A and B are shown apart, each in its own frame.
Chain A
């Protein structure tokens, strides 16, 4: 019997490459897949960031002089698509979800490991395809929204490759979503109740529901659009009697929930990071769970607020105003609860907590402009202007990307067993925070005063403010340097972290760092109170454990 088991294990080990090579293999280990997602996403972030820099260089002068106009449109289309589908969505869902969820539910892997690996391996080819489409006949140039008829009339090859790539990425996202739902609901260790799960599980459950419900709609829409392009059908082509506004409805039915697909997991990650570094329980667990589900439900019925100037009838404008504004309520609850989590804690000031607090400040700002934008009369003036550009960068960069960095500082010791350098980390935070606000805060004014978005040239009166914004973008580009140096240095020479450098109670820290292949040497621990900081009973248990 024992011999049989041993031979099986040996076989397993011989099939899986070891060391750095396993990250280039079709690995089924959720931890390896998580890191694959993260590193792959970060590489695409560097590409998307370079494109953003190109945009800001072009906009440093009012004339279109840095690159040809059609290339500019390709650059902005690729920037949006890469940042959304290849950086934020795969990283906040795929990377952290895959790494953490099995630990949190007390499982040894995800529910469907092969599907998981397939979901990841769809990403690099579709990303490369998207980028190389530039060299075929020019990349797509209708914006990441690909509104027809523009997307039908611009060069076909780029647009079709764009559609194919987004379809594959959407497929990857759906595979991931199904896997998370199954893992969270069905793979929990015996004795672990839903309401005892760490908050990130709830965030991923809500997000995955949104992914599974709305991504197929985007897929269907893009398939119809591709028919219009290659087969001359007339779904969205007005020349053939099609309706262009229907496309916008279908597109935003996915793409508004996509905002929550990028932001809800970030909310979950912050809910993990704050209690550990503040040494206090997460404030209001139950209301947090309900507010996540509230955001999921409301998030599905607000899409038309992207279309207030598209010729929507008045009643529709009103319904979507009210629904959108009400998302502020569950979102607000989460922010008040985080502040209450910090209040009265013993906060370690480190890179993770600084990025999390930066996230709260940025997101509150973006949320306030969001509620303003939900009001039809307000939106009519600033729709499709730099005000909107500033608003959503406050949400997705100031929100999600800040949380990604915070999470990297927080979980790096888990993955590598080494701590990141705090001095470089705080420098990274300072440059990012200043650069980000310098880049995007002035854009609100630009939008209010008459600068539309997606333009290569603009009224010379806006030059100074645009240059300030470009300076901020330069700082953001520079901020990746201390981060990269930090990662590369700490991988080899970072301070040894030990198994649980933050003294955390969540399950992923209750094993070795880095964890063994099947997560725990023995049975998975049953963590009924993942946020029990300051709980006299739990600290007593901890003390006895240490004594042993």
Chain B
């Protein structure tokens, strides 16, 4: 009996060990290029490990049962007459409840760290107090930065994104942003629902006609990343893409000055 318990304990430890190993060594996500990305990847890792433990465990039990309890040739009769076991049933109600609750609280914490619970303060861009701004993610601000937030107006239409830089009074088809600065975007659609998704930033927000949405983020890595429309918007939905170019602040300044309208 002791031996049986011991091997069961070993097996469970092995499952947990393997799950942790896979969780930490198999990377299923694209590179991390925003403040949100490492927070997201942490949540992903935890959920991946818990999921692996449950899935490997369940699969082993099913496959084991199919072998161990299979009917051999010529065998007749029934299995044991067992209609239930209250203690067991309570255990597998309570333990999953606790896991779900912990995961829920943990993901709330992640969501808070991503700035999901922060108020969307984009007063500068609200044309009046009564204007209704719907939630996006309002990332916790990059407190170290002294430079004011970068405000960009995004408009989406079938099948393109346009980026309006109000301070420079120009519109661009590419989104240029300086690295390590908090970017604040107000997005509105001209026709149908679109979505703004940058996989490397782990952010997504629908762009809705008639309801402006706000999305804040801070890129952390210089490079060029795809902006993908994620909401079915018509025949060319698959081709509705743009690029976000994250640059060193000086490069960004150059680009901005080249494009901005010179005052007469």
Contacts and interface: CB of A to CB of B under 8 A. Distances in A.
Interface of A: 64, 68-70, 72-73, 141-143, 147, 149-150, 153-154, 238-239, 241-245, 278-287, 309-314, 317-318, 321-322, 325-326, 328-329, 332-333, 335-337, 339-340, 342-349, 353, 357, 360-361, 364-365, 368-369, 371-372, 375-378, 380-381, 383-385, 444-445, 448-450, 452-459, 531-536, 539
Contacts of B103: 325, 371, 375
Given A72-B235, A149-B193, A312-B134, 4 more contacts: A309-B195, A318-B108, A381-B40, A539-B78
Given A244-B193, A345-B79, A381 B58 contact: no
B84 A349 contact: no
A235 to B, nearest CB: 13
> Among the interface residues B40, B83, B195, B211, which one has the most CB atoms of the partner chain A within 10 A?
B83
Contacts of B239: 64, 457
Given A311-B135, A325-B100, A383-B230, A149 B58 contact: no
Given A284-B84, A381-B204, A455-B237, A344 B211 contact: no
Contact of A345 (B69, B114, B117): B69
Contacts of A453: 230, 232
Given A278-B79, A535-B81, A328 B96 contact: yes
- Chain B interface mostly helix, strand, loop or mixed? mixed
B136 interface: yes
A18 B48 CA distance: 57
Interface string B228-257: 111111111111000000000000000000
B197 A344 contact: no
22 contacts: A72-B235, A147-B193, A238-B208, A238-B209, A280-B80, A280-B82, A286-B84, A309-B205, A311-B213, A317-B135, A325-B100, A333-B92, A337-B89, A342-B66, A348-B70, A349-B70, A368-B54, A369-B51, A375-B107, A375-B110, A452-B197, A459-B226
A376 B111 CA distance: 7
A369 B28 CA distance: 14
B227 to A, nearest CB: 11
Nearest to B118: A314
Contacts of B204: 309, 380-381, 383-384
B128 interface: no
B51 A244 contact: no
Contact of B66 (A244, A332, A357): A357
Contacts of A455: 237-238
> Among the interface residues A73, A286, A311, which one has the most CB atoms of the partner chain B within 10 A?
A311
Contacts of A142: 232
Contact of A73 (B135, B208, B209, B235): B235
Contacts of B104: 321-322, 325, 375
B162 interface: no
A347 B136 contact: no
A534 B80 contact: yes
B55 to A, nearest CB: 6
B179 to A, nearest CB: 21
B88 A384 contact: no
A69 B192 contact: no
A314 B204 CA distance: 15
Contacts of B236: 69
A333 B206 CA distance: 36
A276 to B, nearest CB: 11
Contacts of B231: 147, 384
B65 interface: yes
Given A284-B89, A377-B116, A343 B237 contact: no
Contacts of A450: 30, 197, 199, 226, 228
Contacts of A533: 78-79, 81
A57 B70 CA distance: 40
Contact of A339 (B44, B61, B116): B61
Given A376-B116, A445-B28, A456 B82 contact: no
A147 B110 CA distance: 30
B77 A346 contact: yes
A339 B29 CA distance: 33
Contacts of A381: 40, 199, 202-204
Contacts of A143: 232
Interface string B85-100: 1001100110011001
A62 B175 CA distance: 25
Contact of A343 (B39, B69, B96, B134): B69
Contacts of B134: 311-313
